[in-house]
Chain A
Amino acid sequence: MNEKELHNLKTAATKIRRNIIVSVSAAKCGHPGGSLSIADIVAYLYFKEMNVSPEKKDDPGRDRFVLSKGHCAPALYGALAERGFFPKEDLLTLRRWDSYLEGHPSAKTVPGVDISTGSLGQGISNAVGIAIAGKLDKKDYRVYSILGDGECEEGEVWEAAMCAAHYKLDNLCAFVDVNGLQIDGPTEEVMNPNPIGDKFRAFGWHVEEIDGHDFNEIEAAVKKAKTVKGQPTAIIARTVKGKGVSFMENKASWHGVAPNAEQTAEALKEIDAYAAALETEGRGV
């Protein structure tokens, strides 16, 4: 990845983070912590990797994305808005009764959402179904999904993992956002799902373990996944819950709480300062 590409991805991720804070704040509820932890992965997929665009949102050959940790819809919506799937100002209507931006991703109402998710464990199974269809139809689209580490406590994740390996779905690539926290506290205290990479390996997946905020590592893992034949790939991404907003970082309490006006201003100040620094840096790129 050259410097310009890296800079563009950082800029995109920062915009997504800003959208997360703005939309969750406007809704006065939602899930900022886990949305911020996946912002870089979502930015990479929507601004570099996936063959998707508003013009071909129904193209049968497009890549697919399934947000298995559906409560992090603000990150997905934030990316879709930046990619022009719907007007950015609509993000301010998140979770409202008169909005199409459902609290959890809704394929029926939100342009660019491939599948409705929200109930943990089901998204990865949905992704398996789309990947089977890709094989059946001999289409070369790829299916990406993001799961939470807490989500891996759901038994269905492992039913899906078994099934994906059984059908040799090398067109499927699932990220696990390992931010180490779930609503009730650290995953290791609530119900330890670790070691997640070893579990996927045991289920027959190819596994990459990366820093989920390092675009070079994200890219290397995604590129590697494309070369693996006969196996799905799990990218175990170590992340920081609340990443990019200092007072939210590594705090389980920011899992499902919206910032108040003061906190929103503080969060945006930090994000905007980072964006400004990026812009300055960008002039040199």
Chain B
Amino acid sequence: MGKTATRDAYGKALAEFGKDERIVVLDADLSKSTKTAVFKDAWPDRHFNMGIAEGNMMAVAAGLASTGKIVFASSFAVFATSRAYEQIRNSICYPNANVKICATHSGITVGEDGASHQSIEDISIMRTLPNMTVLCPSDGYETKFCVKTALETDGPVYLRLGRLAVEDFYDENTVFEKGKGKVVRDYGNDAVIFATGYMVQQSAAAADILLGEGIGVKVVDIFSIKPIDKEIIVKNAEKTNFVVTCEEHSIIGGLGSAVCEVLSEERPTKVLRIGMNDTFGKSGTPDALLKLFGLDGSSVAEKIRKALK
């Protein structure tokens, strides 16, 4: 199994789709890191560096979109969302501008750069905005599908990407459906984990570990956080005895909250939210941090094992 960072898959997909001349790409001095530089190499005339000025970048994107462009604006997730939040709200979401905010370096697997650069609240603040679609792919293949979905969506999209090279979980033949969750492990009805981003791989690893102990876990990839697949959530909550959510994000406002919102209205269910427990990250290698914050496969398995006792 190969490894691909979702940011690499993003840059590649963007360059490939770049033959559509409506596409314009903006970056805030991070194009080599966000991989929009790959697009720039292919389509230099339609890539504009906005410098270290994310607020201006988002509002410029809205201006470009008002003329019929499809604009992809990239930076690290912390700066793309938190710093430019109000520009995204008023210049992009309010007029439903056709801007795709593709943010890399989300979550704690940013690693050594530390807490200042590890975005753990971006899903929360992006999904609260009217008109915004929120997508969080787990591997390179799913990323390409999400970039295509963003391109085909008329309106704002937030695409959450990672820095770390992660295991290819799917392949070129995998069929994804817009707005639909995807069952990736189906070992039984002891628990279901709704996971997003890199936590899909970690949750699958947890399910594999627990299978060896006779605990049957189902894992569902919720790459479309908004709109969210209510049907798959409710259906699996009904079938299983225990609902878990898993994300490389704060347990406040992210996937865990989104799943709880669905279940509290449709089928009140007890939910274990696994993620960053209302705390900032820190410097370290991605693997060390996943372990420290209990987000690696064996930690996730342990939490479920304990809860089921």
Residues of A near any B CB (own CB < 8 A): 60, 66, 106-108, 114-116, 118-119, 121-123, 125-134, 136-137, 155-156, 159-160, 162-163, 166-167
Contact = CB atoms under 8 A, between A and B. Distances in A.
Contact of B56 (A118, A128, A131): A128
Counting contact residues on chain B (CB < 8 A from A), the size range is: 20 to 34
Contacts of A66: 63
Interface in B40-74: 45-46, 48, 50-51, 53, 55-56, 58-69
| Residue with the greatest number of chain A CB neighbours at <10 A, chosen from B51, B87, B91 | B91
Nearest to A125: B59
B90 interface: yes
Given A128-B60, A160-B59, A133 B90 contact: no
B24 interface: yes
A136 B63 CA distance: 13
A119 B48 contact: no
B51 A125 contact: no
10 tightest A-B CB contacts, nearest first: A129-B63, A125-B59, A159-B56, A159-B53, A126-B63, A129-B60, A133-B67, A129-B64, A116-B95, A119-B90
A163 B45 CA distance: 16
B63 A125 contact: yes
Nearest to B87: A122
Contacts of B69: 133, 136
B63 A128 contact: yes
Contacts of B55: 121-122, 125, 155-156, 159
7 contacts: A125-B55, A125-B60, A126-B66, A129-B61, A130-B63, A132-B48, A136-B45
Given A108-B95, A125-B55, A125-B91, A119 B62 contact: no
Contacts of B86: 119
Contact of A114 (B24, B48, B66, B96): B66
B24 A115 contact: no
A163 B50 contact: yes
Nearest to B91: A122
A130 B71 CA distance: 12
Contacts of A126: 59-60, 62-63, 66, 91
B17 interface: no
Contact of B96 (A108, A156, A166, A167): A108
Given A136-B45, A159-B56, A163-B56, A129 B95 contact: no
Contacts of A136: 24, 45-46, 69
Contacts of B91: 116, 119, 122, 125-126
Interface in B72-95: 86-87, 90-91, 94-95
Contacts of B90: 116, 118-119, 122
Given A122-B91, A125-B91, A115 B51 contact: no
Contacts of B67: 60, 129-130, 133-134, 137
B48 to A, nearest CB: 6
Nearest to B65: A129
Interface string B232-261: 000000000000000000000000000000
Contacts of B87: 119, 122, 125, 156
Contacts of A137: 67
B68 A162 contact: no
B66 A107 contact: yes
